[in-house]
Structure 1
Amino acid sequence: MTLLTRDEFRRVALTVVGNNPGMEMNLAGQIVGEALAYLVTVSRNRDLPLAPSPVVDEGWHALILHTETYGQLCEKLGGFIHHYPETPEETAYDAESIALTLATMEAAGVAPDRALWAGPEENEVGVRSIVWHTPSSNCGPIKIEKKPKPKPSKAVPA
Structure 2
Amino acid sequence: MTAVAVELRRGRDPVAPGLFDRLVDFCAQEYGLERCVAERIQDQAIALCWVTGTTRSGNTMAPSATVDPGWHTFMLHSTEYTHWCQEQFGYYLHHTPNSKTRTPGLMVDVAARIRAAGLVVDESLWGTAADCNPPTCCCDGPCC
User: What stretches of structure 1 of length at least 5 have no aligned partner?
Assistant: 127-158
Tell me the residue number matched to 1:12: 23
Q: Does structure 1 conserve the Cα–Cα contact (< 8 Å) formed by 2:62 and 2:101?
A: no
Deviations along 1:57-115, one digit per CA (max 9) or x if unpaired, are 110000001011101111122111101234xx6x7641221121111111111221001
Is residue 114 of structure 1 aligned with residue 119 of structure 2? Answer: no
Structure showing greater radius of gyration is 1
Query: Is residue 42 of structure 2 the alignment partner of residue 32 of structure 1?
Result: yes
d(CA) in 1 for partners of 2:54 and 2:141?
27
Does the aligned pair in 2 maintain the 1:55–1:125 contact within 8 Å? Answer: no
Q: For this pair of structures, how many residues does the alignment match?
A: 119
Pick one of 82, 89, 96 that aligns with 1:84: 96
**Correspondence for 1:142:** none
| Counterpart selection for 1:68 from 53, 74, 79 | 79
1:50 aligns with 2:61: yes
Q: CA RMSD in A?
A: 2.4
- Normalised by the length of structure 2, the TM-score is 0.72
With the length of structure 1 as denominator, give the TM-score of the two structures.
Answer: 0.66
- Are 2:134 and 1:124 equivalent residues in the alignment? no
Number of the residue aligned with 1:136: none
The 8 Å contact of residues 3 and 76 in structure 1, kept in 2 or not, is answered as no
- CA distance in structure 1 between the partners assigned to 2:102 and 2:114 by the alignment: 19
- Bigger helix fraction: 2
The alignment partner of 1:77 has SS state of helix
Q: Which amino acid aligns with 2:95?
A: H
Q: Is 2:108–2:126's contact at 8 Å kept on the other side of the alignment?
A: no
Percent of residue pairs identical: 25
Off by >6 Å, runs of 4+ in structure 1: none
Could you report, residue by residue, the CA deviation over 1:105-158 in whole angstroms, capped at 9, with x for unpaired residues? Answer: 111112210011116xx98379xxxxxxxxxxxxxxxxxxxxxxxxxxxxxxxx
- Distance verdict in 2 for CA 1:44–1:4, change over 3 Å: closer
Structure having the larger proportion of residues in strand: 1
Please tell me the residue identity of whatever aligns with 2:78.
T
